[in-house]
A and B are shown apart, each in its own frame.
Chain A
């Protein structure tokens, strides 16, 4: 059983702080990693994808991947109340079919 693990939270941070979200995955052969944001009652929206070890930055978001440790994280700088949502980590292990396996999500609360 290939698994993606996330702490369910809630993770509470004050406005303007850095939020750090973590995800581990079980299959060492995984190639593609994604972070999605999901507001309550809505479908997920893609924040970032990352494919190689290291950091990838996009605006206030930085994704970090460490394949040796089977660990991927998302940092949100200058957190805003509008960032309050559930963040889903998703992993693709089948490069042919490109289906995603999602973690259970971490709920982030940014306190004004």
Chain B
């Protein structure tokens, strides 16, 4: 139980384009999901908390207009990186909250 999926697992895009990443809880419902970012050899940094049916809560320093989060159902949250630039290249990981956080397998974004 408590399986979280992410799609796509890997994406390469050109600078200036937008990329959408999906996070799904497969066998449970999650009112709350979290989005993290991990740069090479660094730890996970919380970007935002995604709440079903309401606006996401962004951490300090994370641009809400650049990283659009939509939590439209109890099993799906999406993160859209708008106007992506090479510095946005990173490993994006979501988690879904039940008794604890269960992590998705991550999405590796490369912006050329």
Contacts and interface: CB of A to CB of B under 8 A. Distances in A.
Interface of A: 34, 36, 41-46, 49, 88, 97-105
Which size bracket describes the interface of B in this complex?
10 to 19
Most buried by B among A43, A46, A105: A43
Given A34-B101, A49-B100, A98-B32, 11 more contacts: A42-B106, A43-B103, A45-B103, A46-B102, A98-B97, A100-B44, A100-B46, A100-B101, A101-B46, A102-B43, A102-B44
B77 interface: no
Nearest to A107: B41
Contact of A43 (B42, B57, B106): B106
Contacts of A104: 42-43
Contact of B93 (A43, A99, A101): A43
